Amino acid sequence: MQLTTTQTIASALAMASCSLIGQQACAVETQSTQDDWKVDAAIMYYGEQERVQAAEVIGNVQKAFGDSSLLDMKIVVDSLTGASASGAVAQAQSQTFTRPSGKGEYTVKAGDTPLDDTFHDTRVQLSANWQEVLNQDWTTNIGVYGSKEFDYLSMGLNAGLERSFNKNNTTLALSAAFTNDVVDPVGGRPVAMSQMVFRDNYATDAEYQAAFDQTRLSGDDTKQTSDIMFGVTQILNRNWLMQANYGLSSVSGYMTDPYKILSEVDINGQTQAYRYENRPDSRLKHSVFVMTKGALDSAVVDFSYRYSTDDWDIQSHTLETHYRYNFSASLYGQLHLRYYQQQAAEFYRPFLLSDEVVPEYASADYRIGDMTAYTVGLKFGQRLSNGHEMSYRLEYYQQNPDNNGTQLPGQLQNFDLFPSVKAIVAQVSYSF
């Protein structure tokens, strides 16, 4: 043995001994070496078929200070490009739309679901969380969050308290968060339910600009979100634990999507106009989550169910499971299945009718319509000989929007107004 190369022997032995005596032992050991930094880096790709593409870089750093304090810092940078559904319905003729900025137009072919291709942005998210174990029974944490994209700024604070009982077999957790968002859309916020104007209908640029400005509000707007969550974790026996959470979320402020519109159609389904959507400025949401997680011989499995309801009348059910199998001490595979079902918001309308009174609130955003969605995913993780871990995740995600019972007049029956959105998620992570 050469003494110059010996520094790495202890760390190599630590890894080798961990894979020999199993992962449980490693999990225990990390407690004793918590003074070390832990760094995770990942790149993720999200791609919807013919729609949004996103690339994301994630960096996460954990630093423990002794046995009782843990600092967790995370940075996420993502870049979005591609098109997303504007809310307008397909037509037998091509359709032309004014861009959200008011500058320029884009045209959608006959029969196609209108997608707004101006959608691209870069977002930076930063968060930091401090966890402090006060004593055997009490743990607290406090954190800050900020994210910035071109037209959006979000800043948040959160804090939590955990209490262990019954020799750590029972944990009660209470946490709260507050977020303030500032929305400053490109081209300004549209006037609620106002009609889209077109350059071609005006003689001069100035006249057009004046008409466009009539559809816009000046300045930015804000949104405040307050969340409170209460949770219980109970160890059932040596292999199983169960968790139940109740969450209450109250949002007030600007929740309208400034880039979403609705088509206004006549009795033949022919579009007469486009209107900018409008959503209520308050939302109260309740959610209940139950999960059970178990350790099998060489596998870990969990099942969870979430029910969520709010005063927009959106109700959702989520069923989810992960099954992780350890092929060896250094290689695991994980299967992920998720099923989601959602009932539309009461103001969701796939389109407006031109002979109706314009409603106060309406949105044709399929994401708040009737919908089912499912995810099928696979992940593989591998511990390398240097102790680092590499993992690969590939998931297929499909959203199937449904008609919420709206009669389709005339030509609208010829088109798929509720097309599925199919997406692939791919992620590579490296931990050291």
Partner 1 sequence: MPTHKRTTTKPPAMSLQPRPWGFVGCFTAMASPCELLMQVDNKHIARQMLTLAYDEAQRIEQKFSRFIEGNIVWHMNHAQGKGLLIDPETVQLLQFAQQCYALSDKAFDISAGSLMVLWRFDGHHQMPHQSDIDAALRHMGFNRISLTNNILTMPAGMSVDFGGIGKEYAVDRTAQLLAQRWPQHSVLVNFGGDIACPITHKDGWQVGIENPHKLDNAAALLTIRQGALATSGNTRRYIDVAGKRYGHIINPQTGYPVEQAPLSVTVLAPNCVMAGMLATMSMLQGAQAETFLQQQGVDFTVFRG
Nearer to partner 1, 18 or 265 (CB): 18
Residue 32 binds to partner 1 (criterion: CB under 8 A): yes
| Residue written as token pair 């009539």 | 214
Instruction: Give the nearest distance from C-beta 139 to partner 1 in angstroms.
Output: 15
Residue 59 binds to partner 1 (criterion: CB under 8 A): no
Residue 17 binds to partner 1 (criterion: CB under 8 A): yes
Strand partners, 29: none
For residue 30, give the nearest of 67, 69, 74 by alpha carbon: 67
Among 14, 110, 144, 210, indicate the residue that binds partner 1 (CB under 8 A).
Answer: 14
CA distances from 287 to 175, 317, 372 (A): 14, 10, 18
Instruction: Give the nearest distance from C-beta 16 to partner 1 in angstroms.
Output: 4
> Pattern of binders to partner 1 over 319-358, x per CB under 8 A?
---------xx-----------------------------
Residue 124 binds to partner 1 (criterion: CB under 8 A): no
Which range in 28-36, 88-96, 241-249, 387-395 contacts partner 1 by CB under 8 A? 28-36
CA dist., res. 144 & res. 142, Å (int): 7
β-strands 352-353, 261-265 pairing: parallel
Nearer to partner 1, 67 or 355 (CB): 67
Strand partners, 380: 333, 392
β-strands 331-343, 221-235 pairing: unpaired
Instruction: Give the nearest distance from C-beta 328 to partner 1 in angstroms.
Output: 8
Instruction: Give the nearest distance from C-beta 323 to partner 1 in angstroms.
Output: 20
> Pattern of binders to partner 1 over 166-205, x per CB under 8 A?
-xxx------------------------------------
β-strands 271-276, 261-265 pairing: antiparallel
Cβ–Cβ < 8 Å for 330, 19? yes
Among 10, 203, 206, 357, indicate the residue that binds partner 1 (CB under 8 A).
Answer: 10
379 to 398, contacts with partner 1 by CB under 8 A?
385
Residue 33 binds to partner 1 (criterion: CB under 8 A): yes
CA dist., res. 291 & res. 322, Å (int): 11
In this structure, how many other beta carbons lie within 10 angstroms of the beta carbon of residue 98? 21
CA torsion angle for 23, 25, 27, 32 (degrees, to 10)? -150
Cβ–Cβ < 8 Å for 240, 273? no
> Pattern of binders to partner 1 over 286-305, x per CB under 8 A?
-----------x--------
For residue 194, give the nearest of 358, 354, 84 by alpha carbon: 358
Residue 3 binds to partner 1 (criterion: CB under 8 A): yes
Residue 218 binds to partner 1 (criterion: CB under 8 A): no
Which stretches of the chain bind partner 1, using CB under 8 A?
1-3, 6-7, 9-10, 12-14, 16-22, 24-25, 28-29, 31-33, 167-169, 238, 297, 328-329, 385
